[in-house]
């Protein structure tokens, strides 16, 4: 009897939890098919425009997708620069 009452409480909660996850909107990554060159050029363009948060986002994607590539080390340096210019010297 006790097992049945626990099951009747737990099962609907599990179903609601799983159903609730499907209600969240999918996040679309516009940079999914971009090459490392395009990511870096977009980051540089954002830096030149003073949009440092956008540049940091692109640079983070370079570091995540191509950690051992030619652009990874420069992306780290540019991230530090963007954080400094954006008023976050502690993060730099």
What percentage of the chain's residues is helix, strand, coil (to nearest 5)?
70, 0, 30
What pTM, to 2 d.p., does this model score? 0.68
pLDDT at 7: 64
- Span 22-61, pLDDT tens digits: 666 677 888 899 999 999 999 999 999 999 999 999 999 9
pLDDT at site 31? 86
Q: Is pLDDT at 3 greater than 70 in this prediction?
A: no
Do 66 and 72 contact (CB within 8 A), yes or no?
A: yes
Question: What are the contacts of 19-26 at 24+ separation with CB within 8 A?
Answer: none
Q: Which is higher by pLDDT, 3 or 88?
A: 88
Q: Domain spans of the chain?
A: 36-85
Q: Which of 51, 43, 79, 50 is nearest to 92 (CA)?
A: 79
């Amino acid at each position: 009897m006790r097992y049945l009452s626990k099951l009747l409480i737990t099962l609907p909660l599990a179903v609601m939890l799983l159903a609730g996850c499907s209600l969240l909107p999918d996040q679309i990554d516009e940079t999914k098919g971009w090459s490392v060159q395009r990511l870096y050029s977009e980051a540089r363009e954002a830096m030149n425009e003073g949009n440092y948060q956008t540049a940091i986002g692109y640079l983070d994607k370079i570091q995540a997708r191509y950690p051992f590539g030619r652009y990874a080390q420069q992306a780290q340096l540019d991230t530090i620069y963007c954080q400094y210019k954006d008023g976050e010297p502690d993060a730099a």
